[in-house]
Protein backbone atom coordinates (compact mmCIF):
# COMPACT_ATOMS: atom_id res chain seq x y z
CA UNK A 1 0.00 0.00 0.00
CA UNK A 2 1.43 3.39 -0.99
CA UNK A 3 1.91 6.33 1.36
CA UNK A 4 -0.63 8.37 -0.68
CA UNK A 5 -3.32 5.75 -0.07
CA UNK A 6 -2.51 5.60 3.63
CA UNK A 7 -2.90 9.39 4.04
CA UNK A 8 -6.04 9.66 1.88
CA UNK A 9 -8.17 7.50 4.17
CA UNK A 10 -7.64 9.58 7.32
CA UNK A 11 -8.42 12.73 5.36
CA UNK A 12 -11.65 11.34 3.87
CA UNK A 13 -13.27 9.87 6.96
CA UNK A 14 -14.29 13.21 8.60
CA UNK A 15 -16.27 14.38 5.59
CA UNK A 16 -17.79 10.92 5.19
CA UNK A 17 -18.76 10.94 8.85
CA UNK A 18 -20.21 14.45 8.49
CA UNK A 19 -22.35 13.29 5.58
CA UNK A 20 -23.51 10.22 7.53
CA UNK A 21 -24.50 12.42 10.49
CA UNK A 22 -26.52 14.71 8.23
CA UNK A 23 -28.33 11.60 6.94
CA UNK A 24 -29.03 10.56 10.54
CA UNK A 25 -30.34 14.07 11.33
CA UNK A 26 -32.73 13.81 8.37
CA UNK A 27 -33.92 10.42 9.56
CA UNK A 28 -34.63 11.95 12.99
CA UNK A 29 -36.96 14.51 11.38
CA UNK A 30 -38.69 11.84 9.30
CA UNK A 31 -39.09 9.52 12.28
CA UNK A 32 -40.39 12.32 14.50
CA UNK A 33 -43.04 13.14 11.90
CA UNK A 34 -44.46 9.64 12.02
CA UNK A 35 -43.89 8.89 15.73
CA UNK A 36 -45.92 11.98 16.61
CA UNK A 37 -48.62 11.00 14.10
CA UNK A 38 -48.42 14.46 12.53
CA UNK A 39 -50.24 13.51 9.35
CA UNK A 40 -53.33 12.85 11.48
CA UNK A 41 -52.65 15.50 14.11
CA UNK A 42 -52.27 18.29 11.53
CA UNK A 43 -55.71 17.86 9.91
CA UNK A 44 -57.36 17.22 13.31
CA UNK A 45 -55.81 20.39 14.70
CA UNK A 46 -56.86 22.44 11.66
CA UNK A 47 -60.46 21.14 11.63
CA UNK A 48 -60.87 21.84 15.34
CA UNK A 49 -59.34 25.33 15.06
CA UNK A 50 -61.58 26.18 12.09
CA UNK A 51 -64.73 25.14 13.96
CA UNK A 52 -63.81 26.86 17.23
CA UNK A 53 -62.52 30.11 15.70
CA UNK A 54 -66.00 31.70 15.23
CA UNK A 55 -66.87 30.98 18.88
CA UNK A 56 -63.75 32.66 20.24
CA UNK A 57 -64.18 36.16 18.87
CA UNK A 58 -64.91 38.94 21.36
CA UNK A 59 -68.36 39.39 19.83
CA UNK A 60 -69.26 35.70 19.99
CA UNK A 61 -68.09 35.33 23.59
CA UNK A 62 -69.99 38.47 24.60
CA UNK A 63 -73.17 37.18 22.96
CA UNK A 64 -72.78 33.76 24.59
CA UNK A 65 -72.35 35.36 28.02
CA UNK A 66 -75.46 37.46 27.41
CA UNK A 67 -77.43 34.35 26.38
CA UNK A 68 -76.34 32.52 29.53
CA UNK A 69 -77.11 35.57 31.61
CA UNK A 70 -80.62 35.53 30.14
CA UNK A 71 -81.11 31.89 31.14
CA UNK A 72 -79.85 32.59 34.65
CA UNK A 73 -82.21 35.56 34.91
CA UNK A 74 -85.15 33.40 33.80
CA UNK A 75 -84.25 30.78 36.41
CA UNK A 76 -84.21 33.42 39.15
CA UNK A 77 -87.33 35.16 37.88
CA UNK A 78 -89.28 31.92 37.55
CA UNK A 79 -88.71 31.01 41.18
CA UNK A 80 -89.08 34.48 42.68
CA UNK A 81 -91.67 36.13 40.44
CA UNK A 82 -93.41 33.78 37.98
CA UNK A 83 -94.48 31.16 40.51
CA UNK A 84 -95.74 33.67 43.14
CA UNK A 85 -97.31 35.93 40.50
CA UNK A 86 -99.07 33.20 38.56
CA UNK A 87 -100.17 31.52 41.79
CA UNK A 88 -101.88 34.72 42.83
CA UNK A 89 -103.50 35.21 39.44
CA UNK A 90 -104.89 31.68 39.48
CA UNK A 91 -105.94 31.78 43.13
CA UNK A 92 -103.46 29.14 44.21
CA UNK A 93 -100.66 29.08 46.72
CA UNK A 94 -97.12 28.48 45.34
CA UNK A 95 -97.14 24.82 46.33
CA UNK A 96 -100.45 24.24 44.53
CA UNK A 97 -99.17 26.06 41.47
CA UNK A 98 -96.02 23.91 41.53
CA UNK A 99 -98.16 20.76 41.54
CA UNK A 100 -100.35 22.18 38.77
CA UNK A 101 -97.25 22.97 36.72
CA UNK A 102 -95.69 19.52 37.18
CA UNK A 103 -98.91 17.72 36.30
CA UNK A 104 -99.91 19.75 33.27
CA UNK A 105 -96.63 21.14 31.94
CA UNK A 106 -93.84 18.77 32.99
CA UNK A 107 -91.27 20.08 30.48
CA UNK A 108 -91.68 23.59 31.89
CA UNK A 109 -91.40 22.32 35.45
CA UNK A 110 -88.31 20.25 34.63
CA UNK A 111 -86.71 23.11 32.73
CA UNK A 112 -87.37 25.63 35.50
CA UNK A 113 -85.77 23.29 38.05
CA UNK A 114 -82.76 22.57 35.84
CA UNK A 115 -82.08 26.11 34.58
CA UNK A 116 -79.78 27.22 37.44
CA UNK A 117 -77.47 24.23 36.95
CA UNK A 118 -77.63 24.54 33.15
CA UNK A 119 -76.72 28.23 33.32
CA UNK A 120 -73.84 27.47 35.69
CA UNK A 121 -72.52 24.69 33.41
CA UNK A 122 -72.61 26.81 30.27
CA UNK A 123 -71.20 29.80 32.11
CA UNK A 124 -68.22 27.69 33.20
CA UNK A 125 -67.72 26.47 29.64
CA UNK A 126 -67.78 29.99 28.21
CA UNK A 127 -65.47 31.14 31.01
CA UNK A 128 -62.97 28.46 29.99
CA UNK A 129 -63.11 29.50 26.34
CA UNK A 130 -62.70 33.15 27.27
CA UNK A 131 -59.69 32.37 29.47
CA UNK A 132 -58.09 30.45 26.58
CA UNK A 133 -58.82 33.09 23.93
CA UNK A 134 -55.23 34.39 23.77
CA UNK A 135 -53.64 30.94 23.68
CA UNK A 136 -56.13 29.87 21.02
CA UNK A 137 -55.16 32.84 18.82
CA UNK A 138 -51.49 31.93 19.22
CA UNK A 139 -52.09 28.25 18.40
CA UNK A 140 -54.27 29.28 15.47
CA UNK A 141 -51.20 30.93 13.93
CA UNK A 142 -49.23 27.66 13.66
CA UNK A 143 -47.21 27.89 11.48
CA UNK A 144 -48.52 31.31 10.34
CA UNK A 145 -51.90 33.02 10.16
CA UNK A 146 -52.07 32.33 6.42
CA UNK A 147 -50.68 28.78 6.37
CA UNK A 148 -52.71 25.88 7.83
CA UNK A 149 -51.32 23.48 10.42
CA UNK A 150 -51.47 20.72 7.79
CA UNK A 151 -48.32 22.21 6.24
CA UNK A 152 -46.25 21.37 9.36
CA UNK A 153 -45.95 17.58 8.85
CA UNK A 154 -45.17 18.06 5.16
CA UNK A 155 -42.54 20.69 6.00
CA UNK A 156 -40.93 18.47 8.63
CA UNK A 157 -40.98 15.39 6.40
CA UNK A 158 -39.68 17.39 3.45
CA UNK A 159 -36.83 18.83 5.51
CA UNK A 160 -35.92 15.33 6.65
CA UNK A 161 -35.86 13.94 3.10
CA UNK A 162 -33.78 16.89 1.89
CA UNK A 163 -31.33 16.36 4.77
CA UNK A 164 -30.93 12.69 3.84
CA UNK A 165 -30.30 13.58 0.19
CA UNK A 166 -27.80 16.29 1.13
CA UNK A 167 -25.98 13.90 3.46
CA UNK A 168 -25.67 11.33 0.67
CA UNK A 169 -24.58 14.07 -1.74
CA UNK A 170 -21.79 14.99 0.69
CA UNK A 171 -20.15 11.62 0.02
CA UNK A 172 -19.49 12.53 -3.63
CA UNK A 173 -19.38 16.34 -3.54
CA UNK A 174 -18.33 17.12 0.02
CA UNK A 175 -17.74 20.87 -0.35
CA UNK A 176 -20.99 21.68 -2.17
CA UNK A 177 -22.94 19.19 -0.06
CA UNK A 178 -21.60 20.73 3.13
CA UNK A 179 -22.63 24.20 1.97
CA UNK A 180 -26.15 22.92 1.26
CA UNK A 181 -26.23 21.31 4.71
CA UNK A 182 -25.29 24.65 6.27
CA UNK A 183 -28.13 26.39 4.42
CA UNK A 184 -30.67 23.75 5.45
CA UNK A 185 -29.51 23.75 9.08
CA UNK A 186 -29.71 27.52 9.34
CA UNK A 187 -33.22 27.42 7.84
CA UNK A 188 -34.36 24.80 10.37
CA UNK A 189 -33.18 27.07 13.18
CA UNK A 190 -34.14 30.45 11.77
CA UNK A 191 -37.62 29.71 10.41
CA UNK A 192 -39.11 28.40 13.71
CA UNK A 193 -37.48 31.30 15.57
CA UNK A 194 -38.75 33.87 13.04
CA UNK A 195 -42.28 32.43 13.18
CA UNK A 196 -42.21 32.25 17.03
CA UNK A 197 -43.03 28.55 16.82
CA UNK A 198 -41.62 27.68 20.28
CA UNK A 199 -44.01 30.15 21.94
CA UNK A 200 -46.95 29.13 19.73
CA UNK A 201 -46.26 25.47 20.51
CA UNK A 202 -46.12 26.24 24.25
CA UNK A 203 -49.48 28.03 23.99
CA UNK A 204 -50.98 25.11 22.06
CA UNK A 205 -49.76 22.63 24.69
CA UNK A 206 -51.13 24.75 27.53
CA UNK A 207 -54.45 25.13 25.71
CA UNK A 208 -54.59 21.36 25.27
CA UNK A 209 -53.83 20.81 28.94
CA UNK A 210 -56.42 23.34 30.14
CA UNK A 211 -59.18 21.90 27.96
CA UNK A 212 -58.53 18.29 28.93
CA UNK A 213 -60.49 18.32 32.25
CA UNK A 214 -63.61 19.82 30.65
CA UNK A 215 -63.59 18.64 27.03
CA UNK A 216 -64.97 15.13 27.47
CA UNK A 217 -67.72 12.97 26.05
CA UNK A 218 -69.59 13.50 29.34
CA UNK A 219 -69.46 17.28 28.85
CA UNK A 220 -70.84 17.00 25.33
CA UNK A 221 -73.60 14.58 26.36
CA UNK A 222 -74.54 16.79 29.32
CA UNK A 223 -74.64 19.91 27.15
CA UNK A 224 -76.80 18.14 24.56
CA UNK A 225 -79.15 16.97 27.32
CA UNK A 226 -79.33 20.51 28.73
CA UNK A 227 -80.24 21.88 25.32
CA UNK A 228 -82.98 19.28 25.05
CA UNK A 229 -84.40 20.34 28.43
CA UNK A 230 -84.31 24.05 27.57
CA UNK A 231 -85.75 23.47 24.10
CA UNK A 232 -88.60 21.33 25.45
CA UNK A 233 -89.33 23.93 28.12
CA UNK A 234 -89.49 26.73 25.57
CA UNK A 235 -91.67 24.76 23.19
CA UNK A 236 -94.17 23.70 25.86
CA UNK A 237 -94.21 27.15 27.38
CA UNK A 238 -95.15 28.82 24.11
CA UNK A 239 -97.43 26.18 22.58
CA UNK A 240 -99.24 24.82 25.65
CA UNK A 241 -98.74 26.63 28.93
CA UNK A 242 -99.24 30.23 27.83
CA UNK A 243 -102.37 29.49 25.75
CA UNK A 244 -103.80 27.53 28.72
CA UNK A 245 -103.01 30.37 31.13
CA UNK A 246 -104.55 32.90 28.76
CA UNK A 247 -107.74 30.84 28.73
CA UNK A 248 -107.84 30.46 32.52
CA UNK A 249 -107.12 34.14 33.07
CA UNK A 250 -109.65 35.15 30.41
CA UNK A 251 -107.02 37.10 28.51
CA UNK A 252 -106.41 37.41 24.81
CA UNK A 253 -102.93 36.19 23.68
CA UNK A 254 -101.71 39.75 23.17
CA UNK A 255 -103.01 40.73 26.61
CA UNK A 256 -101.13 37.81 28.18
CA UNK A 257 -97.98 38.75 26.26
CA UNK A 258 -98.26 42.28 27.59
CA UNK A 259 -98.83 40.99 31.12
CA UNK A 260 -95.74 38.73 30.89
CA UNK A 261 -93.59 41.46 29.35
CA UNK A 262 -94.54 43.87 32.12
CA UNK A 263 -94.23 41.49 35.06
CA UNK A 264 -91.68 38.91 33.88
CA UNK A 265 -89.26 40.76 31.55
CA UNK A 266 -86.48 38.13 31.68
CA UNK A 267 -88.80 35.34 30.56
CA UNK A 268 -90.35 37.58 27.91
CA UNK A 269 -86.92 38.49 26.55
CA UNK A 270 -85.74 34.89 26.30
CA UNK A 271 -89.01 33.75 24.73
CA UNK A 272 -88.83 36.49 22.10
CA UNK A 273 -85.38 35.31 21.02
CA UNK A 274 -85.66 31.62 21.84
CA UNK A 275 -84.99 30.30 18.33
CA UNK A 276 -81.95 32.51 17.81
CA UNK A 277 -80.54 31.81 21.26
CA UNK A 278 -81.04 28.06 20.94
CA UNK A 279 -79.43 28.15 17.50
CA UNK A 280 -76.30 29.70 18.98
CA UNK A 281 -76.15 27.18 21.82
CA UNK A 282 -76.71 24.30 19.40
CA UNK A 283 -73.92 25.58 17.15
CA UNK A 284 -71.50 25.68 20.07
CA UNK A 285 -72.41 22.22 21.34
CA UNK A 286 -72.26 20.79 17.82
CA UNK A 287 -68.74 22.19 17.38
CA UNK A 288 -67.67 20.45 20.59
CA UNK A 289 -69.40 17.24 19.56
CA UNK A 290 -68.04 16.89 16.02
CA UNK A 291 -64.50 17.73 17.16
CA UNK A 292 -64.36 15.31 20.09
CA UNK A 293 -62.48 12.74 17.97
CA UNK A 294 -60.14 15.47 16.73
CA UNK A 295 -59.39 16.50 20.30
CA UNK A 296 -58.76 12.88 21.29
CA UNK A 297 -56.19 12.75 18.46
CA UNK A 298 -54.49 15.91 19.74
CA UNK A 299 -54.49 15.14 23.47
CA UNK A 300 -51.43 12.87 23.60
CA UNK A 301 -49.30 15.14 21.41
CA UNK A 302 -46.90 17.75 22.81
CA UNK A 303 -45.92 20.41 20.27
CA UNK A 304 -42.99 21.97 22.16
CA UNK A 305 -40.74 18.87 21.86
CA UNK A 306 -41.57 18.62 18.16
CA UNK A 307 -40.52 22.22 17.48
CA UNK A 308 -37.36 21.87 19.56
CA UNK A 309 -36.52 18.63 17.76
CA UNK A 310 -36.60 20.59 14.51
CA UNK A 311 -34.41 23.36 15.95
CA UNK A 312 -31.88 21.03 17.56
CA UNK A 313 -31.65 18.94 14.41
CA UNK A 314 -31.04 22.17 12.51
CA UNK A 315 -28.20 23.10 14.87
CA UNK A 316 -26.76 19.61 14.41
CA UNK A 317 -26.90 19.89 10.62
CA UNK A 318 -25.12 23.25 10.80
CA UNK A 319 -22.34 21.71 12.87
CA UNK A 320 -22.09 18.63 10.66
CA UNK A 321 -22.08 20.77 7.52
CA UNK A 322 -19.34 23.01 8.93
CA UNK A 323 -17.30 19.94 9.88
CA UNK A 324 -17.75 18.47 6.41
CA UNK A 325 -16.79 21.77 4.77
CA UNK A 326 -13.63 22.12 6.86
CA UNK A 327 -12.70 18.49 6.24
CA UNK A 328 -13.16 18.86 2.48
CA UNK A 329 -10.99 21.99 2.49
CA UNK A 330 -8.11 19.96 3.88
CA UNK A 331 -8.22 17.34 1.08
In this structure, the chain runs to a length of 331
CA distances from 309 to 3, 30, 85, 95 (A): 44, 11, 67, 67
Mean pLDDT rounded to a whole number for the chain: 91
Calpha distance 19→14 (Å, rounded): 9
Provide the residue ranges of all domains of the chain, joining segments of one domain with +. 18-329
pLDDT digits (tens, 9 = 90+) for 198-237: 999 999 999 999 999 889 999 999 999 999 999 999 899 8
Peptide bond into 92 cis (omega under 30): no
User: Helix, strand or coil for residue 12?
Assistant: helix
Instruction: Residue 248: name the closest of 99, 104, 108 by CA.
Output: 104
pLDDT digits (tens, 9 = 90+) for 168-198: 999 999 999 999 999 999 999 999 999 999 9
Residue 1: pLDDT band (50, 70, 90) is very low
Residue 11: pLDDT band (50, 70, 90) is low
pLDDT at 4 over 80: no
Residue 12: pLDDT band (50, 70, 90) is confident
- φ, ψ dihedrals at 195, nearest 5°: -90, 5
DSSP character string of 45-82: HHHHHHHHGGGGSHHHHHHHHHHHHHHHHHHHHIIIII
Instruction: Residue 235: name the closest of 105, 120, 64 by CA.
Output: 105
Calpha distance 81→317 (Å, rounded): 73
Alpha helices in the chain (DSSP H): 3-35, 38-52, 58-77, 83-90, 94-104, 106-131, 133-140, 151-172, 174-194, 197-211, 217-236, 242-248, 253-263, 265-272, 274-290, 292-298, 303-329
Calpha distance 269→83 (Å, rounded): 17
Tell me what pLDDT residue 3 has: 46
DSSP assigned state of 249: T
Q: What sign has the CA pseudo-torsion 12, 183, 320, 23? A: negative
Percent of the chain with pLDDT over 70: 96
What is the average pLDDT across 108-126? 89
Residues 6+ apart with CB under 8 A from 123: 65, 68, 72
Calpha distance 320→314 (Å, rounded): 10
Tell me what pLDDT residue 8 has: 47
Tell me what pLDDT residue 94 has: 87
What is the average pLDDT across 121-150? 93
Contacts of 217-224 with C-beta under 8 Å, sequence gap 24+, read 217/292, 219/125, 219/288, 220/285, 220/288, 220/289, 220/292, 222/121, 223/121, 223/122, 223/125, 223/285, 223/288, 224/285, 224/289
Percent of the chain with pLDDT over 90: 66
Amino acid sequence: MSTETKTAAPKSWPRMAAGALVVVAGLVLITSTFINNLFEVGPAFEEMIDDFRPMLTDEALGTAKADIGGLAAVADEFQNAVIPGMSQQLGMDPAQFGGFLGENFPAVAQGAAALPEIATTFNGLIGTLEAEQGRFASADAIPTESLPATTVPWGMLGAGVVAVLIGLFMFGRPRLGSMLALVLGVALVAVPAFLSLPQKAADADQLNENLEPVYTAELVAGAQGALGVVGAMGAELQTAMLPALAEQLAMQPDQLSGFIGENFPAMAGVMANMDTTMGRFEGMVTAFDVNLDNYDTLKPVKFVPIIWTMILVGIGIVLFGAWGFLASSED
